[in-house]
Structure 1
């Protein structure tokens, strides 16, 4: 065994020499805990280096440009030795020697200016060490004339001699072969309370003396850095003592060197017990976030974040948390049980982006939601967008990130159409309101994609039903055209009714407002010229009356035809879906029709009830309008025949009449029969013999 150890460090051996550096390198390669701790140290030091110029202003070069250490003390000692008196010398006795240990050994101070420079230098050197810039700290010591101090900062480095394998080439040797001795001296310096606090902290950070470093650490990241460096030093020291790479006995460790090694979990527990950390714990949630990431405790991180959601989060923290969750999901660290917590965080981020109105972020963050939530949240975002340019931009972004724009636009139209809606039967307001205009404008969401024309018609038909139930006929005249099964049929039914309504309005206006008025007859005893003028006016009136009657006959025919189109609408009747009344189709056709109607009912649960209400309102109304036209134009016989159509089992229009409407219909029918009797016809319009 002893021979193998000798061969390990022998120059003639073919194996790679085992040195302090190689031992520690193997430790880093095989031990995950030490690698994590080193990553934390590098991260904290990088952050400190980034903040160095911004936060640290008390730098040595700002106050002193000399290259002589303790210059004022040196000048004072030289003056005293030559007998020259120095003004404002004071009575305090200064050191009589300028070796590095003189102030501590003699118990005497330096010159006040040198003492001030010394404190400033120590603070600056510690900040460099804290930010991982030990080389810069050594360079600063050299510039300040403290070459010996720069040398002490080299002692912590691991020794490595690559030359035993190839004696003919002399590669540079790195590190300190007497690192154990340096560590003992540095530990004693860090423990010496006579030394300045920052000087103790410098050596404590390099040799693993935790208490010396904690004395100058007042923030969470500094305390964590101190504990992390101490932890790494403990693991490294134990590995070096076990490896026995030295050919001489190592200097024993200090008596107060900790025997129990720290773990990352124990490290954070110790950090959180520090008073300065406890004061900052509730003010900075980022520290908890960083802690759980370092400990790889995803479940605790998500639960803590969920508590923050209930308490309210700052937008920047919410976005940071969202990206952490997305990264953890990307690398497969989110379990199925934790998905609900992640979804709540992502939804909160989407909600916050919607409140800020950031279109790009809303689209992107919505795309990382589960598929079943993407449509719901993006539809909420589009709800209040009315400008055409902004609508197109929002849909373009949604398509870019892979959202289902068709489902989204359909959902947003449905949401707007059903928003703020009350029972249309109990809210009969003929005037168009602002909400009505918003709902009509929402249909435009479905017009950007040509493949959504069918959906546009379905939504338009649903909206038209609601408007017509509320007696908003003019509002319901919006023109949308497309074609597909019962959706098209429903649209054609409503369009047929609106055309009939417009034709009746034209007939009513022509019949009552545009009838030519006869000329006024001249008075008895009028002269010849007045008689001639009256005859000419009467001839003109007769001509206009003939034209009016001709136009009236055309308008009457058009109005009657369109009103009959409503009453005699083919394939089941007006606002009756095709296939529901057809009992002669084969079984497969019935199944297809039933499935189609089921899909429509699932999309519009109130559709069947609304269509029934519309029939009960407008079938009697159309019948009454048709009776008025036929009676007014003295087409009594056809008016009577209208009763046959209403009572016909083929059309079953009588089912749409209530008792009141049916009574009014019979009263008008009675009036028509009286007119027929006056015309020497029976009640049904046939001539009497």
Structure 2
């Protein structure tokens, strides 16, 4: 895709903000409402940072590139990188926003961008679950590796793969800059030591006396406090609490090695050993080549099954500290021990996912080693109700969170991004689309959410997952995003996204988009762009023309609407219709019957409103000598009546213009009574042109605005078209005849009056007098009566003159 095609025009204020955009919500544009697919948007247009403006372009560019390379994995990675870059740039602009008074607004935007970035990270990690891709793994040698047993199972279990991806994602997103800073500050309080409980040990060595009551422990066993029911020195107690909390914080972000090293550096070797005991057993010496003389150390805990059983009971011992129980619960997969230390929805999801993974691994190993266990161990392990009582499943984790969590966690879980991430994790794409639409319908959407969800939907659609969701939902989501781009004035991206719609929807959206453009040059530009993206421009233009149709009353009984020769100005809707006609005649691939029919439709409207200038403009868009050979060959037989109708409007406009021209001449004659010679000659000379133009309407071949074939009877709009043409015949022909009668009356052309009245009553000429209303007929008869009286007067005067002449002769 060329750089010019994907160009995003932008205006920046204070180095960071797009000037026309003010708030954090989407709005519905008054000009934007495509057919039945309603665009859902919120109350106001969002404030968009400069970097976020670029993000819209980068998303489209990455999507276009992936269509060429078909490398969708790189596309997802690129979307993540682009979003991360946008977050960084927005954070840099934060001081500028503080000076301009938009700090809180930008903070919200940055937070939404961070959530959008995190959602891309999730999809980047989890997308491999869409395909069950196998890897080459060595066969497991019995008794040699628990790790390989789990890895083989992982390849065949997409839910476990997804859980591992979600766990890694939650650990990565938690480890942000602020979290790292807090961890470092907390760790500075812990001093390196050779042994733990240093102050208590010092007390035992220096001042312990068995004869004096002592509240402190008397030995340094790690479980001494529980066995002796005594406590540590206050300093050691506080340090141990701090250590346990820091260790849990490190485990929360997956930093197991750092947690073990911290325990060792502070003398808590027993805690480091506990963390190591969770590792899966693996002996690499079974799998190395025979020629290799290196002996590898054995990794992990060979007795992990039994160890897990002990930890499962220990983590619920209420004598232990809160974070100690949480650490043990994490290691053995007991969720009850973890819930008390979870503070956010992400913590809950991480805890449940981690426990699900540990439980799955434990059951995998139990069934893998059941033949190696003795009868006592086998009975104990396989019949342990506590281990199987709360067996988690990835499909039910989210329901269990909502059932057990506090109200504020439940509210957080129901936020839009969290719900979308939920259905991505569950690969429930139908519910994903329904969820997105639900947020759009309830105006809970924003730019980041709409941008992310649209591109996820596009990814799934391009990857042929459309059988897993309702395509109508996909169309509505993408339509909403297109409306969002239009509202933000990112019009150079609109045609590209329209091309992503199914073919039968592209034309409707393209027509609606063109309708939002007020400048004809812009319409021509985006029509060319749409042609580049292989959008059906012909159909789009026809739908654009159909969108310009307006309701209008054609009432022949309403005498107030009888057409006059007075000029009426065109309004905005009229100009839009003419622009649509201009585009039809310019951009359609063939000179078209459809353009001619649209021209006739708007000419009927203009004629009904006496807007003759609109008819003149419409006529000018077609060749002056247009005939049936001008129409494309396959439509020539169907265009006969349309061509006759089109030329009928031309004949009528010629008659109106002739009458208007004659009226101007007659007014000059009235103003120049003293010098009438030249004016009268012009007036008299122009009268035959007026008569010819009017008779061109009265004597129109086979009738003015009448069809000569039955072609239109099969068209859906034939009934309304026939009604409109009939009403216009009843209005226009009487009006034209009355104007001509008045001209004859003004200049006393009585013979022309009689000729016209005879013509109108001629049966061979469709009895045009039948189109006249009673009032109009009375007016015509009155004018005819005046003409007859003048003829009789002239005859009587002539008779008197002849008699006088005769008498004079005889005298």
- TM bucket normalised to smaller: 0.7 to 0.9
Per the alignment, residue 402 of structure 2 pairs with 272
| Corresponding residue for residue 575 of structure 2 | 440
Matches within 5 A, 1:202-213: 202-213=327-338
Contact 1:299 1:338 (C-alpha < 8 Å) held by counterparts: yes
**Cα distance, 1:274 vs structure 2:** 0.8
Whether 1:572 and 2:702 are equivalent positions in the alignment is yes
Asked if the contact 2:140/2:149 (under 8 Å) is kept, the reply is no
**Cα distance change, pair 508–114 in 1 and its aligned pair in 2 (3 A):** same
- Aligned ranges for residues 255-654 of structure 1 at < 5 Å? 257-259=386-388, 261-276=391-406, 280-281=410-411, 283-301=414-432, 311-315=442-446, 316-317=448-449, 320-335=452-467, 338-340=470-472, 342=474, 359=491, 363=495, 366-388=498-520, 390-392=522-524, 394-395=526-527, 398-399=530-531, 401-418=533-550, 421-423=552-554, 426=558, 428=561, 436-448=571-583, 450-452=586-588, 454=592, 455-473=594-612, 476-479=615-618, 480-482=620-622, 483=626, 484=631, 485=639, 486-514=641-669, 517=672, 541=675, 545-569=676-700, 571-577=701-707, 579-580=708-709, 594-595=710-711, 597-598=712-713, 601-603=715-717, 605-633=719-747, 635-652=749-766, 653-654=768-769
Q: Which residue in 1 is equivalent to 2:129?
A: none
Which 10-residue stretch deviates more, 178-187 or 220-229?
Answer: 178-187
Q: Is the 8 A contact 2:335 2:355 kept in 1?
A: yes
Aligned CA distance change for structure 1 residues 107 and 402 (closer, same or farther; 3 Å): farther
In structure 2, how many angstroms separate the alpha carbons of the residues matched to 1:336 and 1:289?
16
Distance 2:534 2:351 in 1: 47
Give deviations 1:568-591, integer Å, cap 9, x for gaps: 23x3232234x34xxxxxxxxxxx
- The count of corresponding residues between Structure 1 and Structure 2 is 622
User: Once the 2 structures are TM-superposed, how far is the Cα of residue 674 of structure 1 from its aligned partner?
Assistant: 4.0
Q: Which shifted more, 501-510 or 356-365?
A: 356-365
| Equivalent of 2:773 in 646, 654, 658 | 658
The separation in 2 between residues aligned to 1:200 and 1:46, in whole angstroms, is 24
- How much has 1:623 moved relative to structure 2? 2.4
Whether the 8 Å CA contact 1:19–1:245 is kept in 2: the answer is no
Q: Which runs of 5+ in 2 are unaligned?
A: 1-138, 208-212, 632-638, 803-811
CA contact (8 A) 2:429 2:468 kept: no
- Work out whether residues 508 and 540 of structure 2, in 8 Å CA contact, stay in contact via their aligned partners in 1: yes
Question: Which residue does the alignment assign to 2:252?
Answer: 130
Mapped pair 1:170 → 2:170 = no
Offset of 1:159 from its aligned partner?
1.7
Matched residue, 2:346: 221
Residue 510 of structure 1: how far off its partner (Å): 1.7
Deviations 1:604-625 (A, max 9, x none): 6532222222222222222233
* TM-score computed with the length of structure 2 as normaliser: 0.65
Rate the CA distance shift 1:234–1:628 in 2: closer, same or farther, 3 A.
closer
CA RMSD in angstroms, aligned pairs only: 4.3
Aligned equivalent of 2:188: 64
* TM-score after normalising by structure 1: 0.76
Of structures 1 and 2, the one scoring higher in RCO (CA 8 A, sep 6+) is: 2
Superposition deviation, residue 155 in structure 1: 1.8
Q: Which moved more, 1:109-118 or 1:156-165?
A: 109-118
Structure 1: give runs of 5+ residues left out of the alignment: 1-12, 84-90, 520-540, 581-593
| Aligned CA distance change for structure 1 residues 32 and 621 (closer, same or farther; 3 Å) | closer
- 2:393 and 2:355 map into 1 onto residues whose CA distance is 11
Larger Rg: 1
Structure 2 distance, partners of 1:187, 1:289, is 33
Larger deviation, residues 127-136 vs 330-339: 330-339
CA contact (8 A) 1:60 1:124 kept: no
**Structure 1 residue 196 corresponds to structure 2 residue 327:** no
| From 171, 179, 194, the counterpart of 1:45 | 171
Contact 2:498–2:506 (CA under 8 A) maintained in structure 1 = yes
1:399-456 CA-partner distances (Å, limit 9, x unpaired): 455443333333333333315x445654739888888332223321342462446445
Distance 1:140 1:277, change over 3 A: farther
Contact 1:490 1:575 in 2 (8 A): yes
Tell me the alpha carbon deviations over residues 53-97 of structure 1, each in whole angstroms, 9 at most, x when there is no partner: 3356542545626652389963685588578xxxxxxx9965566
> Which residue is 1:34 aligned to?
160
Report how far residue 497 of structure 1 moved.
2.0
**Deviates further, 382-391 or 431-440:** 431-440
| Structure 1 contact 461–491 (Cα < 8 Å) conserved | yes
Q: Are the counterparts in 1 of residues 144 and 286 from structure 2 also a CA contact under 8 Å?
A: no
Contact 2:511 2:543 in 1 (8 A): yes
Query: Secondary structure of 1:417's partner?
Result: coil
C-alpha distance in structure 1 between counterparts of 2:643 and 2:451, whole Å: 47
Cα drift, residue 158 of structure 1: 1.3
Match of 2:518, SS? coil
Distance 1:275 1:631, change over 3 A: closer
Aligned counterparts of 1:563 and 1:371: Cα–Cα separation in 2 = 49
Q: 1:336, 1:93 → 2: CA distance?
A: 66
